Each structure stands twice: as C-alpha cells, then as structure tokens.
Amino acid sequence: MKSALFVWGGWEGHEPKQCVDVVAPQLEAAGFEVEISDTLDAYLDEDKMRSLSLVVPLWTMGEITGDQSQGLLGAVKSGVGIAGWHGGMADSFRQETEYQFMVGGQWVAHPGGMVDYTVNITKPDDPIVAGISDFKMHSEQYYMHVDPSNEVLATTTVGADPYPWIEGCVMPVVWKRMYGEGRVFYSSLGHAAEEFGVPELMEITKRGMVWASRD
C-alpha cells in the first residue's frame, strides 16, 4: 500500500488543517495509507521519511531548521514524491533557496487580491489534466518566480491591476518536475479549503498527488 504524509502548519490564513481535512480523504479513497502531522519534526525520522510514497506539505511562511530541511529534501532526492499547492508549498521558508529549487517556484505577489481569472490547460494530453477544459477561478492569482525546467501543464494570463507593466503575462499555474529521483507536483490554486469545491481543482490536485507518489 502506498503511504502519504501530510505536514501542516504555518500561517493560518491558508487554512492548512481545513485543506488537509478536505484533500486527505481523496488519497485514502485512492488506496493510500495517510498520516497527518502538525510539526516539521516529522521530517527528522530519516528511515520513515525515505519509506514514504508521498509527502504533502501545507506550511505557509514559517521557518525550518537545517535538519528538518535536509530530512525533507533528502527524502525527495531519494525518490519520495512531493505534491502541494498555493502558499502551502510555494511560499514556505522564504530564506530556503534549496527548498525553492525543489519546488520549482516561489510566490512573489497576487495582483488585485481576490480576482476572477481563467486557468488554461496547456498540455491536454498529460494524464494530470487530460479531459479537463479551461476553467474559471475566483481567488488569488499567483504571480511567481518559476524555474524554466518545469513542465507546465496549465497557465493563466495576468491583468493590469494594480501593476500595468505585467499585463498580459502568461504565468504557470500547474507544473511537474523532478528533484533528484523524486517527482514534484505543484499547483498555485487552493487558497482556502472551500476552493476545492471547484471540481477541476480537486481533480487536478488528486491526480497530481497520485502522479508524484513513488511506485
């Protein structure tokens, strides 16, 4: 049986515990054994970490110790998958550049706050997004610094308010990549738990977690 570890905490505005409560059952329904932790010390048990199929981090901002960081990064490099969303994965530990290298991007702004925008599927043949059409969101539209080696599966086009110099910029929303032997999945969607009520968002998240998990 595949095993997944959810680790939640950090800034509460992203509702990490509520998101775990909504998303973790999706993996259980897919046959995963799921463990949930609210401490970064979960990353310190090297043997356990490297036995996992998947880690799902939900920890916006905050700080991580060197040993905790190496526990997580080392596990992913060894082949453990990692999958996450929004600031819970791409706005964690802002000083940790090696963590950002693993993720493939870092949040820098959400112009206009909560806005209406369209998510455009760019690789419709990829199994994570296959059969899913472009869809609408009302949420934070993340503007990110991103790694050019990411395999981008969905994008969005940024408006002018309040930064006219970025109008029309096409920004990655969903991507996958490798970090060592580990598969990495990221989606900038999922600001709060209620957003997983958008069927396309939930389906992409579920497929991304399953794809990232080690066989």
Q: For 85-144, write each residue's pLDDT tens digit.
A: 999 999 999 999 999 999 999 999 999 999 999 999 999 999 999 999 999 999 999 999
pLDDT at 30: 96
- Closest Cα to residue 90, out of 53, 137, 143? 143
- In total, the chain counts a number of residues equal to 215
Q: Which residues of the chain have pLDDT under 70?
A: none
pLDDT at 215: 83
Structure letter (DSSP) for residue 39:
S
pLDDT at 23: 98
pLDDT at 4: 98
Amino acid at the residue 104: G
SS in 3 state form for the chain?
Answer: CCEEEEEEEECHHHCHHHHHHHHHHHHHHCCCEEEEECCHHHHHCHHHHHHCCEEEEEEEECCCCHHHHHHHHHHHHHCCEEEEEHHHHHCECCCCHHHHHHHCEEEEECCCCEEEEEEEECCCCCCCCCCCCCEEEEEECCEEEECCCCEEEEEEECCCCCCHHHCCCEEEEEEEEEECCEEEEEECCCCCHHHHHCHHHHHHHHHHHHHHCCC
Q: How many domains does the chain have?
A: 1
pTM, rounded to two decimals:
0.98
Domain residues for the domain of 145 are: 3-212
Residues of the chain above pLDDT 70, percent: 100
Q: Which two tokens stand for residue 187?
A: 């989606």
Residues paired with residue 3 on neighbouring β-strands, in sequence order: 33
CA separation (Å) from 152 to 6, 105, 175? 24, 12, 4
Residues paired with residue 136 on neighbouring β-strands, in sequence order: 118
CATH number of the CATH domain containing 167: 3.40.50.880
- Cβ proximity of 10 and 92 under 8 Å: yes
